[in-house]
Structure 1
Amino acid sequence: MNYSPRHGRILDLLTEQGTMGVNDLAQHLEVSVETVRRDVKALAGRGAIVRMHGAIALPSVVSEAPFERRMRENRQAKETIAALAAATIRDGESVMLDTGTTTSLLARALLDHRQLTVVTNSSDIARTLATVNGNKVYMAGGELRSDSGSALGFSAIEFVSRFSVDHAIISAGAVNAVTGIMDYDLEEAQFGNAVLARGRRRIVVTDASKFGRKGLVRVCSFAEVDSLIVDSMPPEDLSEALRLADVTVTCPA
């Protein structure tokens, strides 16, 4: 099927990003929102894209499992963050990771590391790092979520509370200058808080799309975090809040 150059670019962006909003598309294409809306209408009419919850996506993405779909969203930014985080971890060290698409990509970035001790509630992370390079992997028990393959609840929190690790790393649903690190699920927020409490070094990994969001449930204050690893610098108000809390911000040069 033949597409105009701009329509082709929209399809390429969706292949890279997974899902995108109309405003984001307009910024990437450097055209007006009205122009993008006309393009979206034309592409949807040809069955090339699907409109969903204020965003658009390729039909193949809509049929994916929720976790796999999220793995595709902002994939390049998340891989950049994962590489930065992996570079701070040395062979033989211990790492605790919560469930999240960025932490799953971090697990893949750690595949060249050796003799790691890994504690996680994510079946994806456990499968990725177990049985390779002399790693030792401990998997938390509890209710296994069908959407993410993660174990949550009291049993999972009680399990990780037995460990003390070199690096405690969690993902975030929102990073807000006023409320701190936030999430949208109570049990995930509780587990993330428990993870941070067990690390000598406490790290949050998140992409810039989470900056300024309010979230629903507070995970922790900035005072409970040592380092934030991101793909771009936060806006001024957030950067100031992180500075006052003595949080180190790491992003690509």
Structure 2
Amino acid sequence: MAQRFRLDDLMQMAREEGRIVAEDAAARLGVTVQTIRRDLLKLAETGRLTRVHGGAVLPSGTANIGYDDRRGLLSAEKAAIAAACAAAIPDNAAIFMNIGTTTEAVARALLGHKNILVVTNNMNVANILVANPDCEIVVAGGQLRRTDGGLVGALANRIVEQFKFDFAVIGCSAIDADGDLLDFDIMEVGVSQTALTRTRKTLLVADHSKFARSAPARIASLADIDSFFTDAPLAPALSAKCRTWKTDVVVAGAGEAGKPGDGAASN
């Protein structure tokens, strides 16, 4: 079967079933798994699908990719981003961390930090940091979102309002070309926005795939961020804006961890 026909069949599977499992698609189309992976990569490069562990899903617009699938996306890149972010946070710091798989990676990178306080509305972050005996953990109670362990709503906001943080570590679901940080759940956005008003320094952690996605709710702008930790250089126009905004862009893996890479804007 020619690739153009396979691509049409794969898109039909995605529309009908919500996601494509590479091994299943290979069996159904009578080709190897490697062939399907190449096809999925081509569809992802053109924006028609989003790669996830084991296959692909339709790109998100008003609904997010499933949490388990997000955990499998770009795990090595997220670990590098997390290491660079954690390197910028000293011991003896008060930190807020919001919901997301990249903030979970930052939590793992903080396991060696001493005498830190972490306030989070992310049950997964709290569970990770339990392994650090030198970390005091405050969970911002609220409405539990079972899909990802997030705690959202007015109660979570009120708890976050009681603190003044040294650092707020924020993840997002998408970054618009104009630098706006976007997410899907307005209640989750509200907690993050509250944290931004209660911190001395804001650290954004987001991989390059966030630039290819969209979401309906605005958290803030890159203009409101002190340091942005990512895994690839920004587009020239947005990089120039970050320089104007004095937003420091740190490209993890581009040279020594924690140092700005190509396209970085430094204070």
TM-score by length of 2: 0.72
What letter is aligned with 1:67? Y
- In structure 2, C-alpha distance between the alignment counterparts of 1:59 and 1:212, rounded to whole Å: 20
What letter is aligned with 1:142? G
Alpha-carbon deviation of 1:195?
Answer: 1.6
Conserved 8 A contact 2:52-2:70: no
Quick check: 1:98 aligned with 2:98? yes
Alpha-carbon deviation of 1:112?
Answer: 1.4
Conserved 8 A contact 2:112-2:132: no
Instruction: Report the counterpart of residue 239 of structure 1 in structure 2.
Output: 239
What letter is aligned with 2:76? Q
- In structure 2, C-alpha distance between the alignment counterparts of 1:210 and 1:61, rounded to whole Å: 16
Q: How does 1:42-121 map to 2 (within 5 A)?
A: 44-46=25-27, 54-55=49-50, 66-121=66-121
The total of aligned residue pairs comes to: 219
Conserved 8 A contact 1:142-1:154: yes
Q: Deviations over 1:214-249 (max 9, x none)?
A: 421110123321111111111112112222211110
Q: Deviations over 1:140-186 (max 9, x none)?
A: 01100011101000110111011111111110112224251111221
State the secondary structure of the residue aligned to 1:81. helix
In structure 1, the gaps of 5 or more residues are: 1-31
Conserved 8 A contact 1:164-1:199: yes
Conserved 8 A contact 1:196-1:225: no
Using a 3 Å threshold, how does the CA distance of structure 1 residues 186 and 106 change in structure 2: closer, same or farther?
same
Conserved 8 A contact 2:52-2:69: no
Instruction: Report the counterpart of residue 5 of structure 1 in structure 2.
Output: none
Using a 3 Å threshold, how does the CA distance of structure 1 residues 36 and 86 change in structure 2: closer, same or farther?
farther
Quick check: 1:182 aligned with 2:163? no
- In structure 2, C-alpha distance between the alignment counterparts of 1:128 and 1:98, rounded to whole Å: 14
Instruction: Report the counterpart of residue 12 of structure 1 in structure 2.
Output: none
- In structure 2, C-alpha distance between the alignment counterparts of 1:77 and 1:57, rounded to whole Å: 14
State the secondary structure of the residue aligned to 2:92. coil
Task: Give RMSD over aligned pairs.
Answer: 3.1
State the secondary structure of the residue aligned to 2:192. helix
Query: Any runs of at least 4 consecutive aligned residues in structure 1 with deviations exceeding 6 A, and if so which?
Result: 38-42, 58-62
Instruction: Report the counterpart of residue 173 of structure 1 in structure 2.
Output: 173
Conserved 8 A contact 2:53-2:73: no
State the secondary structure of the residue aligned to 1:203. strand
State the secondary structure of the residue aligned to 1:46. helix
- In structure 1, C-alpha distance between the alignment counterparts of 2:53 and 2:214, rounded to whole Å: 28
- In structure 2, C-alpha distance between the alignment counterparts of 1:202 and 1:142, rounded to whole Å: 23
Using a 3 Å threshold, how does the CA distance of structure 1 residues 230 and 55 change in structure 2: closer, same or farther?
closer
Using a 3 Å threshold, how does the CA distance of structure 1 residues 35 and 250 change in structure 2: closer, same or farther?
farther
Work out the percentage of aligned pairs sharing the same amino acid: 31
- In structure 2, C-alpha distance between the alignment counterparts of 1:56 and 1:209, rounded to whole Å: 10
In structure 2, the gaps of 5 or more residues are: 14-21, 41-47, 58-64, 255-267
Q: How does 1:220-239 map to 2 (within 5 A)?
A: 220-239=220-239
What letter is aligned with 2:175? V
Conserved 8 A contact 1:176-1:238: no
Q: How does 1:18-57 map to 2 (within 5 A)?
A: 34=4, 37=7, 44-46=25-27, 54-55=49-50
Instruction: Report the counterpart of residue 154 of structure 1 in structure 2.
Output: 154
What letter is aligned with 1:141? G
- In structure 2, C-alpha distance between the alignment counterparts of 1:153 and 1:123, rounded to whole Å: 15
- In structure 2, C-alpha distance between the alignment counterparts of 1:45 and 1:154, rounded to whole Å: 47
Q: How does 1:197-212 map to 2 (within 5 A)?
A: 197-211=197-211
What letter is aligned with 2:239? S
What letter is aligned with 2:135? N
Using a 3 Å threshold, how does the CA distance of structure 1 residues 135 and 242 change in structure 2: closer, same or farther?
same
Conserved 8 A contact 2:115-2:136: yes
- In structure 1, C-alpha distance between the alignment counterparts of 2:55 and 2:213, rounded to whole Å: 28
